[in-house]
Amino acid sequence: MSEDGAGPGGRIALVDVNNFYVSCERVFDPSLEGRPVVVLSNNDGSVVSRSAEAKRLGIKTGTPWFQLAPSAPRWGLVARSSNYELYGDLSARVMELLARFGTWQEVYSIDECFLGLAGDEAQLREAAGRIRSAVGRHVGVPVCVGVAATKTLAKFANHVAKRNPHLRGVCSLGSMPPGEAEHIQSRVPVTGLWGVGARTGKRLNAIGIETIADLKAADPLLIRKRFSVVLQRTVLELNGTACIPPVDERADRQQVMFSRSFSTPVSTAEQLDEVMAVYAQKAASRLAAEGLRASVLTVSAGTSRFSGEAAFPAATVRLPAPTQDPIALTKAAVAAMRGCMVPGTAYVRAGVVLTGLEPADGQETLEPFAGPQEQRQLGGLLGSVRAKFGESAIGLGAGGLAAPAAWSMKREFSSPRYTGEWAELPVVRA
DNA sequence: TCTGGGGTCCTAGGACCC
DNA sequence: TCTGGGGTCCTAGGACCC
């Protein structure tokens, strides 16, 4: 039996942090406890995480902040700009702690992971309870735990744990009274399931499949024929057959992306040159950090989805040779963007995507078109300066801006970085 | 005035080869 | 004259996730 299957008697736990970003903010600012809190996307654009109190106010994920701001004082609503350094750091602590509880661990996203568990029902319930209290005690964020025979069912169990406070954040499907799980499945729409989005949901409804129970009872072969192998796996998993492979057995990383919206629109080629210089260098840094080189570069820009004519220029270029050199990548990005953007159009976002990735280590392959020796050395120097003095310490050409450009990101409600910066560590008095 | 970012996997279709 | 068909590789686009 492979690791993704639970094995005889084995089970899979899905552990995730409730309202992760908000919970992280609360770890370092307990005054946020009990109050409605939202964390905003880049540029303080819209809501990406909500506390339970904020949800009770009817605030939805994706709501633009400018629509909420007028009511915030009246509601006592607190907004925070997103602080990914802090979230990444707390995520690492949570994952490290959780790893101790499983026979295997698969980190699925910043705030959730699958764990292998073994034992009888009483032991599973007990383990799930210990997991929950350990994370609360040692890291200070609340988690829910769902336990079942497959990943899809563990996700479902987690969903049940979240929505039923009397379960105290823990649900093992095997411990539910007979018929109870089926009863819930017959009431929850298919789109409540992991892997079934709005589109597929609509198509399923059209053939009479409305609830999780309906999908569970469907013929897997028919589902494969009419939909996809992905949905077929979901049907099998609902029926207890584990068939979604572990993420770490899947392919290596396929792409590195840096994409952001601007605080103010950009409409000249010169400004987009600046943007491309900064974004390409950001992407190059990530590439270097992962020890990769890229052979294909894609740039894109876009106008607002909410106004006027829509324009989404994009261009893909094959690089002369696989590279992680920020100079080569910047030049390619600027040229590609010049080739597809239309001056005078108000762009509000842009991005750089690197694909065709391969390991940068091993022997240097012949790079007949790579720049001169000095250029490659400069690329290395940039990397080491950044590593020592931080991401914005040095940059190339338009990317080396001493002051933030007019279009750069807005973050008005930032919490301190706490764990990421010595000067911002919280002070504890005993 | 102001509406996120970074990923993955699968499929269909075209180019090309034998 | 006959106008095949299987295989691979690549890319674009769809769908989904957190």
Q: With 60 as the cut, is the pLDDT of residue A253 above it?
A: yes
Distance (Å) from CA A408 to C1' B15? 42
Quick check: A195 CB within 7 A of strand C?
yes
d(CA A273, CA A101): 50
Tell me, in Å, how far CA of A177 is from C1' of B6? Answer: 40
Q: What is the pLDDT of residue A364?
A: 46
Count of residues making up chain A: 430
Mean pLDDT of chain A: 88
pLDDT in tens, A414-426: 887 776 666 666 6
A378 pLDDT more than 60:
no
* A295, A369 contact by CB (below 8 A): no
Global pTM value: 0.89
Strand B contact at CB of residue A199, distance < 7 A: no
Confidence of residue A252 (pLDDT cuts 50, 70, 90): confident
Q: Say yes or no to pLDDT of A298 above 70.
A: yes
A215 touches strand B (CB under 7 A): no
A353, A298 Cβ separation under 8 angstroms: yes
DSSP output for A7-65: -TT-EEEEEEETTHHHHHHHHH-GGGTTS-EEEE-GGG-BEEEE-HHHHHTTPPTT-BH
* C-beta separation of A96 from A146 below 8 A: no
Strand C close to A151 by CB, under 7 A: no
Q: Count CA within 13 A, CB hemisphere, residue A218.
A: 29
CA closest to B3 C1', residue:
A64
pLDDT at position A368 is 42
How long is the CA A317 to C1' B15 vector, in angstroms? Answer: 19
CA of A340 to C1' of B13 (A): 25
* H or E segment and range at residue A280: helix A269-289
CB A114 within 8 A of CB A14: yes
- Which chain C positions come under 7 Å from a protein C-beta? 11-12, 14-18
**Is A5 a residue whose pLDDT tops 50?**
no
Q: How far is the CA of A358 from the C1' of C9 (A)?
A: 18
Report which of residues 303-342 in chain A place their beta carbon less than 7 angstroms from any atom of strand B: 304-307
How many angstroms separate the CA atoms of A84 and A25, rounded? 11
Look at residue A379 and tell me whether its pLDDT is greater than 90: no
- pLDDT recorded at residue A1: 41
| Strand C proximal residues, A:378-417, Cβ < 7 Å | none
The pLDDT of residue A245 is 86
Q: Cα separation of A124 and A171, whole Å?
A: 10
Whole-number pLDDT of residue A310: 86
Rounded Cα–Cα distance for residues A257 and A278 (Å): 13
Instruction: In whole angstroms, give the CA distance from residue A143 to residue A133.
Output: 9
